[in-house]
Amino acid sequence: MYRTMYQNARRAAVGACSVLALSLAPTAAFADGGHDLIDADLTPSNVNDPSINGVAPGGVPWIIDRGEVRVRDDGRMDVRVEGLQVPAADGSASNPVASINAVLYCGGMPVADSGPHPLSVPGGDARFRVQLAAPEHCDMATVLISPTALVGVRFIASAVADEDDD
């Protein structure tokens, strides 16, 4: 009799654990998956570009080898920039800016700033991850990369969310 009670209790415990594990699995997957507010390539600014969110383009043309930005709904921002430089008349290029900020705009308004991060001189490379106090939803998400001294005044690269982002 005790053996049967033990087996029944064990089966009930195993069953309860299985149900608990199955019920938690979708929640855990959703929490890890998250959602992108923006996940886009960076585009360098040109002097003839229009202002974005009231911020003017850089005063000289910029080029970029590669750049991307991603902001998750939990506030994690990842920025990667390679070769953000100003071309010279002789065909060379170099970066005159030692520090940049990445600013997240939602609905045309600045909502979070990465703070200053080094941009290599003369290579124009940067890579950083920061935790922002970002909103959970962000209409018309845009990230502007600006020289630290000119945040909110000039941008040297930009990224705009596509329809798949929030």
Q: pLDDT tens across 101-121, in order? A: 999 999 999 999 999 999 999
Question: Exposed/middle/buried for 36, CB within 10 Å: 0-12, 13-18, 19+?
Answer: middle
Longest dimension (CA), the chain: 93
Consecutive H or E run containing 78: strand 76-82
Handedness of CA 128, 132, 136, 137 (dihedral sign): negative
What are the distances in angstroms from CA 153 to CA 7, 57, 64, 148, 159?
A: 72, 8, 20, 10, 17
pLDDT in tens, 49-69: 999 999 999 999 999 999 999
Flag whether pLDDT at 164 surpasses 70.
Answer: no
With H, G, I as helix, E, B as strand and everything else as coil, classify residue 36.
strand
Token pair for residue 91?
């065909």
Q: What whole-number distance in Å separates Cα of residue 112 and Cα of residue 108?
A: 12
> In this predicted structure, what is the pLDDT of residue 166?
52
Q: What band does 37 get if pLDDT is binned at 50, 70 and 90?
A: very high
% of residues, the chain, pLDDT over 90: 73
Confidence band, pLDDT 50/70/90 cuts, at residue 21? very low
